[in-house]
Amino acid sequence: MSLLSILDLDVKGFNEILDLTKRIKSNPGEYKTALSGRKLAMLFEKPSTRTRVSFEAGMLDLGGKPLVLSASELQLGRGESVADTARVLGRYVDCIMARVKKHESLQELDKFSGVPVINGLSDREHPCQALGDLFTVREVKGRLSGLKMAYVGDANNVCNSLMLACALAGVNITLGCPKELAPDKFYVDSAGRLGGRRSFVEFVDDPVKAVSGADVVYTDVWVSMGDEAEADSRRKLLRGYQVNPSLMRHAKKDAVFMHCLPAHRGEEVVDEVIDSKQSVVWQEAENRMHVQKAILVREMSR
């Protein structure tokens, strides 16, 4: 079974991944041969630090073999179709992790490869990031249900996955975004259905209102990969959405700050916040590896 979207999980599957993550992080030695003899193809159409290193290190820790492949190194760069690439890779490896420009490429890989496909980021979602984030919140706060997360900034692919993950976890999420960069209605509606009576998702264009009473304050870069042509207009729209000490004071006193990284310091967040005692950004980054180990074990042990 592939993981292209948080929508591929139900509450049981979501909790299974988080619980397995806890076991692997607590006792990594128990899993050092869990994927012995297994091979993971790691396909990159976009640059990466955390996704590449965390998956590669995680696969090695599990006793498996990661194969790092950039699109320019493959025949994809010379016009071979994604479907044909998928048909070949599926005969060589046990699983594919892909970081792609278009979500449709993941769907093609999944359709034609015959092996599990994991979304390492697409233009629509970043499920591994959201799972790592919610694991971190549970680790820090001791629970998920009933907490409030405030997401401030551009409602991008990370935001889409966070909405869905929060719904499965019973976390209320308020999105503080300019109207011009409002969240995708499909993901808002999907999160609403997933959350049911357990949680809510709401959208406001006032960052102070979004952060008010929050247990977690989350932000991301204002200009994502692929949005460079709109950089100036995005920065103007988001100027009032910077996470700084003044904004953090509207959250709960014990609120934590999160960022998926890389951070553009002085833009969406200032040093005084990302380097503060409230910041769990580095713990969050580490947990990407642990949650991805759990996903790999889950997908390749079926």
CA atoms within 13 A on the CB side of 208: 3
| Residue 31, token pair as written in the block | 């899993």
Beta-carbon contacts of 137 under 8 Å, excluding residues fewer than 6 positions away, are 144, 147, 149, 171, 215, 216, 256, 258
> Which is the catalytic residue, given 38, 99, 234, 259?
99
Is 242 an annotated catalytic residue?
Answer: no
Distance CA 236, CA 234 (A): 5
Tokens read off for 245: 């000490």
Please identify which of the residues 38, 52, 124, 288 carries the catalytic annotation. Answer: 288
From the list 107, 129, 278, 292, the catalytic residue is 129
CA distance 249 to 213: 9
**Catalytic residue list contains 84:** no
Please list, in sequence order, all residues whose beta carbon lies within 8 angstroms of the beta carbon of residue 237, skipping any fewer than 6 positions away: 178, 180, 181
Amino acid at 251: A
The question of whether 126 is a catalytic residue gets the answer yes
Q: Say whether 143 is catalytic.
A: no
Candidate list 50, 133, 220, 259, residue with the active-site label: 220
Task: Tell me which of 154, 260, 278, 292 is the catalytic residue.
Answer: 260
Q: Which amino acid is at 130?
A: A
Active-site entry in 124, 126, 234, 259: 126
Helix (H) or strand (E) holding 175, with range, is strand 172-176
The amino acid present at 26, given as its one-letter code, is S
Q: Which amino acids are annotated catalytic? A: 99, 126, 129, 220, 260, 288
